[in-house]
Structure 1
Amino acid sequence: MSDSPQSPDQSGPPVDRARQRRGIRRTVAILVSVVAVVVGLQVYKVTRAPALDREALREQGVIVFEQPRNISDFELVTHREEPFTPESLEEQWTLIFFGFTHCPDICPLTMVDLARLMEELPEELEPRTQVLLVTLDPARDDPEVLSDYVPHFHPDFTGVTGEFLTIRRFANEMNVAFSKVTQGDDEDYTVDHSGHIALVNPRGDYHALFKPPFDPAVMAGQYETIVDSFRF
């Protein structure tokens, strides 16, 4: 009897198909988790609020205080003849420029820059921002005069006036220096003053200042960085 070819020995331990499937599912789950983490990190890098770098902002002319400064009590009035007090600075961000309506150049140019800044802000930030012109010449800038001047730049801007000494204290706390300069007689004068813009946070504290010259598009990014880094 001739020898016939032998079939390969297919004997051995049986394959546990259920266990194999569980192993595959576990491997796939781990890979999906790893991919999700990687994608999440990339999204976070793109969408996270930019970190506040005070030194970088300082080099750009923006001073952000490590400890926001309290503002003393005051009573002023708006161009709408409504009371204006420290409580009026709460629950929103406030950009304050100190100037006067007879100012020939710096004041109107800065008000135009502030109006352009509002156009540059994201939709969610614009309604959370109020802009003030606080007059340094209350003798001439009463509510009626301010009501003819301030809305010309933006209908939502607010003019603020009041007693001279109250304005001086408020200006001093915002690092604003100013002085009256006569030009012939007491009725003909101008006011020399600081040109920066003060920023008050929603707690009503003096938070930062922007030095001139102003680029509204750049300033909008700087302002948004400060807002995103703020914890109420």
Structure 2
Amino acid sequence: MSANVQHTTAQKRGIYLSIAVMVLFMIAVLAGFLHKMGQPRVITDAELQLNGAIKLERPRILDEFELLADTGEVFKTSALEGRWTLVFFGFTHCPDVCPTTLATLNNFYQTLDEATRKDTDILLVSVDPQRDQPQQLHDYVRYFNPEFHGVTGEFLSLKRFANQLNVPFNKVPLEDGNYTVDHGSQVVLINPRGHYHGFFKAPLDPAKMKLTYRSMRTTYNG
């Protein structure tokens, strides 16, 4: 092989190598950018509030309680440990706020990535134990999403639990002899230690909930 041919071959190899290095570098930069884009955005407490979420300065430890799960099993304080739980107080005869909230929570839940959904529970606490038996509650919440759960219990137990989470509710008689239940519309966030971590204010917005929820998860110390 002549010297010119060898020189030309070496030049081509150098060019190919340079192109390969540049392509790999661009791929690495793009992969890093996409990875960063997929990471939760951490926002300040002020930004959380602007987006409808309040994080407690110090998560609140809950007193022991005992309720009734929609499966008929006992639901204790320890059942909230190990996962993130979004808690909403309502009842199956609720004409508007409850179905709207559960539909919104389903929309929010569907926007989460699979890994986040796996350790996120949505829990409806029925404040109408007189009418909401476990099976009825079970069917109601799973109509909105088969992964959602419900609990109820004795009125005083429900009241004590709600008071710990700053959620008011009261039974209101109607003129026809029936009754309804007025209740707070916020969605409470329980962290994996089973502590009251914060809440989302109504009206709920799935996109804002996703932003604030992912940020609070990221900044959680455990």
TM-score (norm 2): 0.81
Shift of 1:165: 0.3
Aligned to 1:158: 149
Find the aligned partners of 2:76 and 2:82 in 1 and give their Cα distance. Answer: 13
Matches within 5 A, 1:72-221: 72-184=63-175, 186=177, 188-221=178-211
Aligned-partner residue type, residue 62 of structure 2: I
| Correspondence 1:59 to 2:83 | no
- Tell me the number of residue pairs that the alignment of Structure 1 and Structure 2 aligns: 192
Contact kept, 8 Å, 1:64 with 1:209, in 2: the verdict is yes
RMSD: 1.9
**Structure 2 unpaired stretches of 5+:** 1-24
Find the aligned partners of 2:108 and 2:100 in 1 and give their Cα distance. Answer: 12
**Structure 1 unpaired stretches of 5+:** 1-34
List per-residue Cα deviations over 1:31-86 (Å, max 9, x = no partner). xxxx9xxx7xx869767653341111112221101100011101111111122111
Q: Aligned pair in 2 of structure 1 residues 46, 112: CA closer, same or farther (>3 Å)? A: closer
Q: Which structure has the bigger radius of gyration?
A: 1
Find the aligned partners of 1:114 and 1:191 in 2 and give their Cα distance. Answer: 21
Aligned to 1:24: none
| Correspondence 1:71 to 2:53 | no
TM-score (norm 1): 0.78
Shift of 1:101: 0.6
Shift of 1:208: 0.7
Runs of at least 4 residues off by over 2 Å: 42-52
Aligned to 1:229: 219
Find the aligned partners of 1:52 and 1:202 in 2 and give their Cα distance. Answer: 20
Percent identity between the two aligned chains: 45
Aligned-partner residue type, residue 182 of structure 2: D
Shift of 1:217: 2.0
List per-residue Cα deviations over 1:81-139 (Å, max 9, x = no partner). 12211111010000000000110000000000111111001121001101100011111
